[in-house]
Structure formats: C-alpha cells, structure tokens
Structure 1
C-alpha cells in the first residue's frame, strides 16, 4: 500500500530540478553577478539531458529574474540573494541599501477591517477591533523579493491609513503620526510554499519555497504598533539574525 502510494506520487520535472540546482549554485556564490553560466552543452552533459531541457530550465531562471540570456553569448547571472538582517531594528530601506541594492515598496492594497484573533492577541487588542492592513510588495533593484501584510491598530494609531497612502515607508508613516521610533520584539521564521497570488507578485512558480517572517513591533513605551507577516522569495534573500550589543 505504501509502495503504491510512493510510486503514484508526482515527480519534479527534470527541467525544474535543473533550475533549482542552478539557483542553489547562484545562492551559494558559485556564480556571481555578471558571471556566465556554463554552456548549454556543458549543462546538458552535467545533468544527463538534452539541450532543449536545459533551455527550459534557463527560461525558468530568466522568469525569476536571476539570469539573462544574450543570443550567441550565453546566460549570465543578474541577481544574487540580498542579505537581510533581522534584529531589534528592522528597516526595509536601510537593510536593502546596506546590501548595495536599490529599495522599493509598492502598495498593493490598504484596507480597514476587524482584527483576527491572532492579530488581536499580538496587538493586545480584542478580536474585531478596527485595524489597518497594509498589503505590499518589496523590491531590490527592481526585482520583487517579498510580499507582506502589516497590521496597525486604528484605535491606537488614528490616521495611519492616510499616512500610508502618502508614503510607502512604514517608518515614515509612523513618524508622521507621532511614533518616532519602534523596535522588533519578536520574529518567527517559517518555511512555506508560495500560493498562486504570491507566485504572481514574486514572478515565481506556485509551490516555490518562501521564508515567512512573523514579527511584532512596539513603540518606546513597549506598546504594540505593528504586527506583520512577510513572505520572502527563498532564493532571493538571505535572512540573518542579529543580536543586540550588550
């Protein structure tokens, strides 16, 4: 029975396995920005497949924004994972600039709704209390690296939705309503798979690996001001945990 189930399980297409292997090579630094990948013939020999299968795999890397191809010249790496530190002071723009990339955030949706039980528990509110949910896309050098949802308590932060409509920066929006500084008090990391909507925004395939962070930010008095979840494309970001200096 178990053997039958195993034999019936779907197998990863060989071109996807090749794309994943090359993605790992890039993530580990075997090929850096601007480096030329081995020729189609060399890759076909390495993986024991025909050149058509190799072309299919390279097309997948092009769609992900990791590789570009030049007719007659070959395939070249255009992206490596962005180092993204997670510590007490998580600031998207600062982190991406420090990694030598150009940061950008795009607003996908801004809504008022009631807090879920989990959100209410994190924000020290009651289920159903009004919150502002900010859905957005984070990019580095024009390449999408994460989708996110940040939730803010409206009774505590009146006007935060209007400020988020004015600026894509959460730090700036909070500053405009009087929250001069905030710190991260908890972060949880989970490996998940991309759903259809996340895959569309991140230009990856449905089911590709994501790193989800769930975090809570508090103001200078320790009062929760933001509860957020971010889904990072697993092959475009290296998350590093930073400890505070004693």
Structure 2
C-alpha cells in the first residue's frame, strides 16, 4: 500500500500537463505573439477535462508571463515588447522597422476644427485658429501598440488630411508640404490606467497600464508643426530615451 501511495504522489497533476503542452505549442509557434488561444470550452474538449482544470493551467501560463487575459475577449499569447526610441527625431516607421517589426497605421478619424486652449498654446496659434486632427492606431506586425492624436495648424497645411489619409505617414505628408525635416522640441511622459475607449482600440482590458506621451515637433526654423498625444500599451513597448 505504501509503495502504491508513493507512486500516485509522483504523478504529474493534469493541469500541469496541460500547461506544459500549451507552453510547447507556444514555443513551437503553433500560437504566435498576440494570437488568441482556444476558449476554455475548446481546451476542455481537447484535453477531456473540466473548465476548472483548464483555468488552473492557464493561470500557470499567465503567472509565467506567457499569456494574458483580456476581459470579455479571451486569453492571448504575450508579445515581446517593441523597443521604441524617443529622442530628437522620433519616426514611427523607422523605429518599428529597426525593432524588426512591420510598421503600419490605421486612420480612425480625420477632422478640421477650432483648436482648444492646449492645442493653440502648443502650436503657438491665436485662439480659435483651425487645426487638423488625426486620430489613429500605430501597428507593429498588425497588432496595435499605440493610440494617437496628432494636431496640425490647418492654415499652414491646408491639404494635410488628404495627404495623411493617402500616405499614412506624418513624415511623408509633411514632406509634401515642404517640411523636409522636423525635430522633437519637448516630450512629457506619464503612466496611468487605460480608459474603456483606449482599451477597446488597443485590445487590452480597461484599467491596464498605458504610457502617455505629449510632444511638440518643430520645423528647422523652430515653428511648431505637430502637437501629439500618444497612448502606448504598457506591455507592448519599451520606451527608450535617446539624445
């Protein structure tokens, strides 16, 4: 009887076996970074166990940083954070490409309206001046890493909305307007929790950490050309300050 009990005690728990199998699936690329894992019901059917056992296995993977749950969306394979440099010249496409990822932009909204007080101050505009506002998503390998709002002086760049919609690049659009180069005049960085809207766009859970930057870009003559606010998904980027 003693020998039987000892042999039984050495058996690997079922949840641990499931966790090991899923870990192997991830390591061998069956589920890549950002991919959604099968549902608890699907995993229960695959392994012939109840959902409680599957939950235990998924918690183990989460504790080890391999996956993370998004409320109401499912469980996803964790992504390797993308290195993102913030310095005198910040160029989204170049930063993402240098990190070995495929850059992309998704336009959410483009409009022309009167500047609010903060926008007018940042762009050195008279109160009530019109601005172009570009809301969008920054993507790395098709996955959202940042939500942004960029504001530009409308009088100086009258055709900018069409150019941004066509080119999906601030650098390229400004170049068509004669601004061959621009640099970062200031950047303010804060950390906070994601709102419901930010979480929806970034495909994270409400309350997850985001890094917010507020920045002003200027042309070679020192004139502000862009005021931008960006919300980075906290677990998807590593912000690096450079000269």
TM range (shorter): 0.7 to 0.9
| In structure 2, distance between residues paired with 1:83 and 1:113 | 34
Is the partner of 1:60 in helix, strand or coil? strand
Pick from 50, 54, 58 the counterpart of residue 55 of structure 1: 58
1:203 lines up with 2:206 in the alignment: no
Superposed displacement of residue 165, structure 1: 1.9
| Structure 1 residue aligned with 2:186 | 186
CA drift at 1:158: 2.0
| Structure 1 residue ranges (4+ consecutive) displaced by more than 4 angstroms after TM superposition | 31-36, 56-59, 61-66
SS in 2 for 1:210: strand
In the other structure, the counterpart of 1:214 is: 214
Shift of 1:232: 0.2
RMSD, matched Cα = 2.6
Q: Distance in 2 between matches of 1:222 and 1:93?
A: 24
Flag the 1:32–1:118 CA change in 2: closer, same or farther, 3 A. farther
After TM superposition, list the pairs within 5 Å mapping 1:1-246 onto structure 2: 51-55=54-58, 58=67, 60=69, 67=77, 79-243=79-243
CA contact (8 A) 2:104 2:138 kept: yes
Give 1:33 deviation, angstroms. Answer: 9.7
Normalization by structure 1: what TM-score?
0.71
- After TM superposition, give the deviation of residue 65 of structure 1 in Å: 8.3
Q: Deviations over 1:130-185 (max 9, x none)?
A: 00000000110111100000000011222112211211000001011111110111
Number of aligned residue pairs: 191
For 1:200 and 1:225, the matched residues in 2 are separated by: 29
Listed as ranges, the gaps of 5+ residues in structure 2 are 1-25, 32-51
Give the superposition deviation at 1:85. Answer: 0.3
Equivalents in 2 of 1:221, 1:33: separation in Å? 52
**Aligned with 2:69: secondary structure?**
helix
Contact persistence 1:122–1:227 (CA under 8 A): yes
**Contact 1:33 1:80 (C-alpha < 8 Å) held by counterparts:** no
Q: State TM-score, norm by structure 2.
A: 0.72
Q: What is the distance in 1 between the residues matched to 2:114 and 2:28?
A: 45
Give the Cα–Cα distance (whole angstroms) in 2 for the partners of residues 182 and 219 of structure 1: 4
Deviations 1:16-65 (A, max 9, x none): xxxxxxxxxxxxxxx999699xxxxxxxxxxxx96524436546179688
